[in-house]
Amino acid sequence: MVYRYGYIDPKIAVNWSQIANAIDSDETFSLNISTNNAQLRKTGGLFVEWRVRAIRGATTVSENSIEAIAEAVTELLDELETRNHLKPEQIISTTFTATRDLDATFPAAIARQRPQWDNVPLLDVQQMHVPGSLERCIRFLVHVNLPAGQTKVHHPYLRGAKDLRPDWSLAPASFS
């Protein structure tokens, strides 16, 4: 019996050193697990190691209207996907914050309308109010699975939010 979704029955004997050696090699392989042993087999597929990364971003909205919020959120998420070469299935979850002066619609409701975002867990919360802080601002924290070799991510800070993180608004951040 082959388990395809990452579940391994604890009764199955697995030679983990054999698996580790195959993962560390430059060869491609597939893993078949039977009730007696684990076998590694070369295949045409490629093994990719993934890492969870967090990506921050923010933008500002011209006015508190559904249209203005939709435009800003769409622009922000377009930038996130394009600059980081992301597919929605790589996104683990997204948390949006909005300042208290934005209440015409939920940023997550806009995101949920995007192609393939209907299965991404989304959450909206209100940004803590600090006197003098940036107004009409939407921020996000996105957790994603990226190939381990992708050590740079782009944190999109757009419009008036560029001043929040000038170090991230132009250059990619590096995890090397």
Tens of pLDDT along 46-61? 556 889 999 999 999 9
Does 37 have pLDDT greater than 80?
A: no
Q: Are 97 and 130 in contact (CB under 8 A)?
A: no
The pLDDT of 127-156, averaged and rounded, is 94
Dist. CA 5–CA 22, nearest whole Å: 19
pTM over 0.75: no
- Element (H or E) spanning 169, and its range? helix 166-169
Dist. CA 157–CA 96, nearest whole Å: 14
